[in-house]
């Protein structure tokens, strides 16, 4: 463009913007390209808002079951990307502990062997459902990323329960590996291991509930991380060390921990005869803790949004 032409162009529009990175003048082709697909997706909606002079009827919230399913499936999909930390790190830790103690424990002492294997197995759940979930919720909260869930028309309890359930599921492969390898390592029978299923569900729910409460209530992300790790360490010590060898006073703590009841169920699974009454009571304790903690976490999630960013 010559100087004169440039001047003319600038003069004619007399002060209109001649900015280099111009307005969206090339949108036409994009608009045309997407016209068909969009007509399908927004057509029904345009009819719905056509009668615009009355207050808008509220679209329904997403039902609890559908929301729970969507959260759970969405969280499970994360395992494909974060496979190693979510599914296997916990198992490595438990396998390491069992190998270490194999050199210390008298394998002939069945009570101790049962306790070590059961405690290591439940430790997998504590690592994933308590520790990792506390860290996850703590990080989401610190980043303001809980806004994503809080601005969707879903109940908070569905978000908490769906996420907790997915983290409990992440623990299942590690639990199976740990229990089977542990049984072989310590010469314990494998026949009662089907009890892993209810233990995974109940220990998973109760420990994930504690993890969610920690992550959503800790004032800072670092505190959520520390509390999650301390919680896991407590499960480690009180779960693996047999009750009769714990120092006086500490054994009271053992009774307060929901993981203890899961460990007791699993330890019983290695014995020839299972005390069904005790198993039921132990699992009910886990269920009660799960109910209370998940309820608290749901309330905490709702409050987490009302914070400055």
Partner 1 sequence: MGRVLSYVVRGLTRRHGAGEHAVLATSNIDLDVGRGEVFGVLGPNGAGKTTLLRQLMGLIRPDAGSITMFGWDVVARPDIPPRLAAYLGQHDMALEDLPVGRAVETTARLRGLGRGAARAARDAVVDELGLAPVVARPMRQLSGGQRRLASVACTLVGDRMVLVLDEPTTGLDPTARRAVWSALERRRAAAGVTVVLVTHNVLEAETVLDRVAVLDAGRVIACDTPGRLKASVSNDVRLDLVWRCDPPAHDPTIARLARQAEISGRRWTTRMDAAAARDALARLTSGPAFAALDDFTLATPSLEDVYLALGGASRTLERT
User: What tokens were used for 255?
Assistant: 């009774």
CA–CA dist 41, 285 (Å, integer)? 48
34 binds partner 1, rule: CB under 8 A: yes
- From the CB of 148, what's the least distance to partner 1, in Å? 4
**What is the helix (H) or strand (E) element at residue 248, kind and residue range?**
none
Cβ neighbours of 254 (radius 10 Å): 18
- From the CB of 44, what's the least distance to partner 1, in Å? 8
Whole-Å CA distances, 185 to 95, 105, 181, 191: 10, 12, 6, 15
- From the CB of 29, what's the least distance to partner 1, in Å? 9
255 binds partner 1, rule: CB under 8 A: no
> Which residue stretch of 18-26, 113-121, 164-172, 174-182 sits at the interface with partner 1 (rule: CB under 8 A)?
18-26
58 dihedral zone (left: phi>0; alpha: psi -120 to 50; beta): beta
82 binds partner 1, rule: CB under 8 A: yes
Residue 62 has φ and ψ, to the nearest 5°, of: -70, 130
> Which residue stretch of 34-42, 111-119, 242-250, 279-287 sits at the interface with partner 1 (rule: CB under 8 A)?
34-42
291 binds partner 1, rule: CB under 8 A: no
**Among positions 64, 73, 220, 233, the unique one binding partner 1 when judged by CB under 8 A:** 73
Instruction: Cite the DSSP H helix spans in 49-146.
Output: 64-81, 83, 89-102, 110-125, 133-143
**Among positions 67, 171, 266, 286, the unique one binding partner 1 when judged by CB under 8 A:** 67
84 binds partner 1, rule: CB under 8 A: no
- From the CB of 66, what's the least distance to partner 1, in Å? 7
CA atoms within 13 A on the CB side of 46: 6
Residue 163 has what DSSP assignment?
Answer: H
Q: How many residues sit close enough to partner 1 to count as binding (CB under 8 A)?
A: 73
For residues 31 and 107, which CB has a smaller minimum distance to partner 1 in the complex?
31
- From the CB of 307, what's the least distance to partner 1, in Å? 8
- From the CB of 259, what's the least distance to partner 1, in Å? 27
Q: At how many degrees (to 10) do helices 156-186 and 276-304 cross?
A: 140
Per-residue binding letters, 44-63, with partner 1 (x by CB under 8 A): -xx--x--xxxxx-xxxxxx
Chain positions 178 to 217 lying near partner 1, rule: CB under 8 A, are none
273 binds partner 1, rule: CB under 8 A: no
- From the CB of 293, what's the least distance to partner 1, in Å? 21
What radius of gyration, in Å, describes the C-alpha atoms of the chain? Answer: 28
Asked if residue 76 lies in contact with residue 169, where contact means CB atoms within 8 angstroms, the answer is: yes
Asked if residue 64 lies in contact with residue 155, where contact means CB atoms within 8 angstroms, the answer is: yes
99 binds partner 1, rule: CB under 8 A: no
Chain positions 125 to 154 lying near partner 1, rule: CB under 8 A, are 139-140, 143-154
Asked if residue 269 lies in contact with residue 193, where contact means CB atoms within 8 angstroms, the answer is: yes
For residues 145 and 184, which CB has a smaller minimum distance to partner 1 in the complex?
145
For residues 73 and 99, which CB has a smaller minimum distance to partner 1 in the complex?
73
> Which residue stretch of 2-10, 239-247, 258-266, 286-294 sits at the interface with partner 1 (rule: CB under 8 A)?
2-10
Q: Of 188, 208, 232, give the one whose Cα is nearest residue 89.
A: 232
219 binds partner 1, rule: CB under 8 A: no
């Amino acid at each position: 463009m010559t100087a004169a032409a440039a001047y003319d162009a600038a003069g004619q529009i007399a002060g209109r913007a001649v900015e280099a990175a111009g307005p969206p003048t090339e949108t036409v082709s994009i608009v045309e390209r997407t016209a068909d697909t969009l007509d399908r997706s927004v057509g029904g909606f345009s009819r719905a808002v056509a009668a615009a002079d009355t207050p808008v009827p509220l679209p329904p919230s997403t039902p609890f079951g559908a929301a729970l399913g969507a959260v759970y499936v969405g969280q499970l999909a994360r395992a494909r990307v974060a496979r190693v930390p979510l599914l296997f790190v916990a198992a490595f830790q438990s396998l390491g502990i069992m190998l270490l103690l194999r050199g210390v424990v008298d394998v002939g002492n069945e009570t101790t062997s049962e306790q070590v294997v059961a405690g290591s197995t439940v430790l997998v759940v504590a690592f994933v459902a308590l520790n990792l979930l506390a860290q996850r919720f703590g990080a989401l909260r610190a980043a303001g990323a809980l806004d994503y869930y809080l601005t969707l028309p879903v109940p908070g309890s569905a978000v908490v329960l769906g996420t907790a359930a997915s983290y409990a599921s992440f623990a299942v492969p590690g639990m199976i590996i740990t229990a089977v390898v542990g049984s072989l390592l310590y010469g314990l029978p494998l026949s009662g291991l089907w009890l892993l299923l209810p233990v995974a569900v109940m220990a998973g729910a109760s420990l994930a509930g504690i993890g969610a409460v920690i992550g959503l209530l800790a004032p800072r992300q670092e505190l959520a991380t520390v509390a999650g790790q301390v919680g896991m360490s407590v499960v480690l010590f009180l779960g693996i060390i047999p009750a009769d060898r714990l120092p006086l006073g500490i054994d009271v703590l053992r009774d307060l921990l929901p993981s203890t009841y899961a460990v007791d169920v699993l330890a019983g699974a290695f014995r020839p005869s299972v005390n069904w009454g005790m198993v039921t009571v132990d699992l009910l304790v886990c269920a009660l803790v799960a109910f209370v903690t998940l309820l608290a976490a749901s309330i905490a999630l709702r409050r987490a949004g009302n914070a400055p960013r």
